Structure 1
Amino acid sequence: MTTALEPQTVAERIALALRRHGVSMIFGQSLPSAVILAAEAIGIRQIAYRQENMGGVMADGYARRSGKVGVVAAQNGPAATLLVPPLAEALKASIPIVALVQEVERDQADRNAFQEFDHLTLFQACAKWVRKVVVAARIDDYVDAAFTAAVTGRPGPAVLLLPADLLRETVDYAPRRRSVNLGSWPLDRVRPAQSEIVRAAGALAAARAPVILAGGGIHSSGAANALARLQDEASLPVLTTNMGKGAVDEHHPLSAGVLGALVGPRSLGRHTLPLVQEADVVLLVGTRTNQNGTDSWRQIDPSATVIHVDVDPEEIGRTYEAVRLAGDAAETIDALRMALSAQDLTLRRNARRALETRIADCWSKFDVDRAEVSCSDSSPIRPERVMRELQLQLSNDTTVVADASYSSMWIAGQLRALSPGMRFLSPRGLAGLGWGLPLAMGAKLAEPDKPVVALVGDGGFAHSWAEIETMVRSDIPLLIILLNNGILGFQRDAETVKFGRYTSACHFVDVDHSLMAEACGCRGVRVGDPNDLAHHIRSGLAGRSPLLLEVMTDPEAHPPISLFAGMDEASKAKPEGQTLKRLSLVGRHERDERAQGRGRQRRHDRHRTGDGTALSEKRP
């Protein structure tokens, strides 16, 4: 690396700019080579992923947990196209990522050069900002512009396209040096006009039955403590969306957990839903009011007054006409608190005790409803039992990560946040399968001294299991709980509800993921007895090396979401011995299981150690 006063290559200038913005690691796979070499030369660590899709999600998880911009790098062509899914997730979930993508050399453009592609068009739909650098002297300007785009307004991904020959070009020392660090988010904290703040405060103070619905914007803004103070000072009940989980302490007497689509039998939402349905004022904070977060937009009464706080003005009023509070969640909540302190809050205080009693009753009924499955000793193991055992091992510092689909529903609906700001990460922007493991890896790298657990299903895990090797090679110690039910659960259940049958893609052959983990140098344990869960979960959370805990779970279990409510109610009402049409299809699965079991035993026998103990049964 040259000194600051000598001519530098564009790649070296990029590396220095990254360090100025607080970047300590890049998720890459050697390319653009000139940038990675320059970055490693000044101490920026490369986390070498196996596939770009997963590398982008690692950068996402890192950004969510660190409060810093995640940086991912990739080659042009097919590698660049694989960044589209994770950048699209970051765009929808409002996560700041800067992607450094190599381009063909400038004199080869538009000549069908090797792996040449129209990257500008490719990334337009999945990024806030896309630029191609063609003038070497402007490189600092463009790097800073990329970071600014990622962290200002509604956060999201920015893409910088870097021709390979440009990276080798030298640049003279710049007399006007840039020194500002733009790598943390949110960068600018804006707040609404005071008149709108006062208007909203008056509506909340005068409301008969107000409620707060908090989304992921609470975490993006670092607004959890401000929300906790608002909840307590104004005696306001708080529910959250899936991405907002952890925004409040769910043991607070005014916290009513996650709502969204989790309103079926054995759900907390079945009991807390009336809090929203009966509300005359609804304060939305940091939520896109998307389909899953509102159970298809049917929970808020049309006559209710809606107040919407969001950093993105375009999200306010998208679905519900609202009092517009466009601004940073933390700043806006604090301003709202100050305005409420000047209001008469007698109504709120007088209603508090009865409200707390009502919410406590909801939690109690939920515990009674789910006890049959959460305390079950049956095998295959119920996922609710896994969640019960995990809950007992959680601390305020634990980061819980889940893949999309059922895994994210299990953590949202079955676990309980222990403090304001406790993090539960799931890819609910676009809800792509396979992102649980890389999201957890990024989160662990962001805070290596704090425990991280990832909950994944066997269907989604197949998308990302190559990253087990990355996890081991990069020394990323986390606990993976893999729920193996041998099926694509949501696909089977949704198709059954909609069509009365499901396609041939829903069942898998038996895969021993614990042996796969062992082959990569990761401890692997397969569990079939629920009484063994506590020991392994405790070991995995406390361990200094990764552990894959493969839990053989009941293929008939699914989260209590509204789509399946009618089916579940009918199943409970059936006399013993009768089954639903859905369950009549299980016979095929059971026949497959018997055949797969014979194959499993043969593989099990081949993996015996000298003392006769199966590798997958060894305790860590």
Structure 2
Amino acid sequence: MSNIEITGGEAIARMLLAHDAGPMFGMGGFQLLPFYDAARRLGLNHNLINDERCAVFAADAYAKVSNRVGLVDATLGPGATNLVTGLVEALNAGSPIVAIIGDANRDHAGKNMTQETDQVTILRPACKELLRVETVARIPELIRRAFMLATSGRPGPVVVSVPEDVAHGMLEFNEADFVADPAHCQIPAIRCRPDADGVVEAAKMLAAAKRPMMLVGGGIHLSGAQSAVTELAEACGIPVAHTLTGKGAIACNSPLSAGLFGRYDRIANDLIDKSDCLLVVGCKLGEIATKRYSIPAAGARVIHLDCVAEEMGRTYQPTLRLWGDAKAGLQDITAALAGNAAEQKASRAGYLAEIPAAMEAWRQDVSERLYSGESPVHMARLITEINKALPDDGYLIADGGFAAHWGGLLFDTKKATRAFVPDRGFASIGYGLPGAMGAQLAAPDAVVVGLTGDGGFNMVLGELETARRMGLGLTVIVVNNAASGYVKALQHLMYGEGNYQSSDLSETNYANVAQAMGCHGIRVESPDDLAPALAAAFAETGRPTVIDVMVTRDPSRMLPAVDNRTVKIKKGDRVA
């Protein structure tokens, strides 16, 4: 092994390469120039982004689809602080990310340097851990630690702050210094099993139940526990309902799938109310999932399995707490139930028959909207056409609010996998396009569709240039209602027709915008044009396609159902 004298910036690049790091997004500045120069010379896959927030969104989706670590960088001051929104998304969603930020020269810090702020204090609550590199010599150690922290326990974003003089400083390293632990190149890096006595008790509770259910969240995907969910459900006859981020824990077409539960549901909320034992796995039981803390009802028998002990009891006091990895815990419960699994399933035959029957009844009830021929296009018809057109191994990336709720309710995964990727960690608007970029990089041969509103798309239009420059053949569907749709719909419900404030947008043809930016643009005004538009978009593999879909301007019909936060709760259809 030979010794090499290199800059701190090159040491960072070498450590990222040692971790077999995937694509990186960032916007350079003087502080990290040696890192950029090393990225060029060493072949690190680095890509210029137009907005640092979108860099984290892209890295977040890349991590969610690949289960590998997403990478971003930002320069001092506004570059670093622009990361905050995306970092909180990754923190709340459990996405493994390493973010490198340039910081002020230590000899000049606090002397009103250009763009300087106390960025470490700003970023610290937005990440799982913030590591500051004080010497060039510690770079290999701290980058290794960043990957370890990002991939262990509940994954999350780790920020590495690199002062200018450290990035530019020179030091002699040995090539052997640049090694990585392969376990921390992807998630989950380390698994822990729940207490054995607790597993036995959980098995007893489930075996005694006549109407058990599993309620699963995004932790299933972080753990890679989809097969474990399906195995337990099928072996013992336990229906599965999911959160927005838990969709795909079991195939949506499974007869055991009860669909989405919480604020918007198909059949799940009623089943939860009637259940005599609920197994909650990898789910934080937050506001959306619990329909503002009204589901499950107080006093329900709940087993909560999670790798973060602090999440158990935060919003609901469970009967039994199991602290451990979702996959390992489910496997242990399945093994504990194996002796009489067949008998359990047989005893629940009548109950299990209710699930597909209720799901079919729901489909019939909403079929007029699912297959609506009205123009402008009905949102339910749009999701129906996406369901038809998207291949089994395709991905739907959904923006924060409007798109995520419609997609979460109506999109169907064809198999047990994370094919639906909403940004529900922070539910920020603007995720659809950069999220689709990250997903396409994680699955380059897959069909990737980003679903966004016109308001969200307006925020990130500049990334069309990034996607075109990178040759990404993704499709972005813009739900065009000339409004901040979710807000306008809530204003309608709260204050009545016509009482809207700061929720309308200019009418814009986003297909024309896409074409002006060198991308493929299609405008859809009739539902009959959806299928050919999707086919044309999926055939365009060398550049992005924007499908501009004209949907209703009526705010009373913008939401999948009446939002439970409003004071004007109305009874009626599940799909607006």
Question: Common fold, TM-score beyond 0.5?
Answer: yes
Report the equivalent of 1:384: 380
Deviation per residue, 1:266-321 (Å, 9 max, x gap)? xx2xx332210011111011111000011112121322211111111100121222
Structure showing greater radius of gyration is 1
CA contact (8 A) 1:50 1:466 kept: yes
Report the equivalent of 2:232: 230
- Once the two structures are TM-superposed, the CA of residue 30 in structure 1 deviates from its matched residue by 2.8
Deviation per residue, 1:529-550 (Å, 9 max, x gap)? 1111101112222431321110
CA contact (8 A) 2:237 2:344 kept: no
Deviation per residue, 1:96-124 (Å, 9 max, x gap)? 11110001111111111111111220111
CA distance in 1, matches of 2:392, 2:282: 22
CA distance in 2, matches of 1:289, 1:109: 43
RMSD between aligned alpha carbons? 1.9
Report the equivalent of 2:394: 398
SS of corresponding position for 2:478: strand
Residue 472 to residue 176, structure 1, CA distance change in 2 (3 Å):
closer
- Once the two structures are TM-superposed, the CA of residue 365 in structure 1 deviates from its matched residue by 1.9
CA distance in 2, matches of 1:571, 1:297: 21
SS of corresponding position for 2:71: strand
SS of corresponding position for 1:120: helix
- The one of 524, 533, 546 equivalent to 1:536 is 533
- Once the two structures are TM-superposed, the CA of residue 144 in structure 1 deviates from its matched residue by 0.9
CA distance in 2, matches of 1:176, 1:468: 41
Report the equivalent of 2:140: 140
Report the equivalent of 2:181: 180
Report the equivalent of 1:304: 300
SS of corresponding position for 2:400: coil
CA distance in 1, matches of 2:98, 2:418: 26
- Once the two structures are TM-superposed, the CA of residue 215 in structure 1 deviates from its matched residue by 0.2
- Once the two structures are TM-superposed, the CA of residue 173 in structure 1 deviates from its matched residue by 2.2
Give the stretch that moved more between structures: 332-341 or 499-508. 499-508
Q: State the AA in 1 paired with 2:40.
A: E
Report the equivalent of 1:221: 223
CA contact (8 A) 1:205 1:345 kept: no
- Once the two structures are TM-superposed, the CA of residue 329 in structure 1 deviates from its matched residue by 1.0
Q: State the AA in 2 paired with 1:372.
A: E
Q: State the AA in 2 paired with 1:276.
A: I
Please tell me whether residue 334 in structure 1 is matched to residue 331 in structure 2. yes
- The one of 268, 274, 285 equivalent to 1:278 is 274
- Once the two structures are TM-superposed, the CA of residue 169 in structure 1 deviates from its matched residue by 1.4
SS of corresponding position for 1:162: strand
Deviation per residue, 1:229-264 (Å, 9 max, x gap)? 11101110000001101111111111111111114x
- Once the two structures are TM-superposed, the CA of residue 200 in structure 1 deviates from its matched residue by 0.6
- Once the two structures are TM-superposed, the CA of residue 47 in structure 1 deviates from its matched residue by 1.8
Report the equivalent of 1:595: none
CA distance in 2, matches of 1:435, 1:426: 8
- Once the two structures are TM-superposed, the CA of residue 439 in structure 1 deviates from its matched residue by 0.8
CA distance in 2, matches of 1:228, 1:275: 19
Report the equivalent of 1:7: 5
Report the equivalent of 1:367: 363
Please tell me whether residue 455 in structure 1 is matched to residue 456 in structure 2. no
SS of corresponding position for 2:406: helix
Report the equivalent of 2:288: 292
Q: State the AA in 1 paired with 2:87.
A: L
Q: Taking structure 2 as the reference length, what is the TM-score of the superposition?
A: 0.94
Q: State the AA in 1 paired with 2:545.
A: L
Residue 259 to residue 571, structure 1, CA distance change in 2 (3 Å):
closer
Report the equivalent of 2:82: 82
Residue 302 to residue 346, structure 1, CA distance change in 2 (3 Å):
farther
SS of corresponding position for 1:301: coil
SS of corresponding position for 1:348: helix
Report the equivalent of 1:511: 508
CA distance in 2, matches of 1:502, 1:125: 37
Deviation per residue, 1:19-70 (Å, 9 max, x gap)? 1111132111234222122123211111211001111111101111111110
Residue 272 to residue 154, structure 1, CA distance change in 2 (3 Å):
closer
Q: State the AA in 2 paired with 1:374.
A: L
- Once the two structures are TM-superposed, the CA of residue 395 in structure 1 deviates from its matched residue by 2.2
Report the equivalent of 2:199: 197
Give the stretch that moved more between structures: 362-371 or 236-245. 362-371
- Map 1:62-211 onto structure 2 (within 5 A): 62-174=62-174, 177=177, 178-181=179-182, 182-211=184-213
CA distance in 2, matches of 1:560, 1:477: 30
- Once the two structures are TM-superposed, the CA of residue 157 in structure 1 deviates from its matched residue by 0.7
- Once the two structures are TM-superposed, the CA of residue 571 in structure 1 deviates from its matched residue by 8.3
Q: Taking structure 1 as the reference length, what is the TM-score of the superposition?
A: 0.88
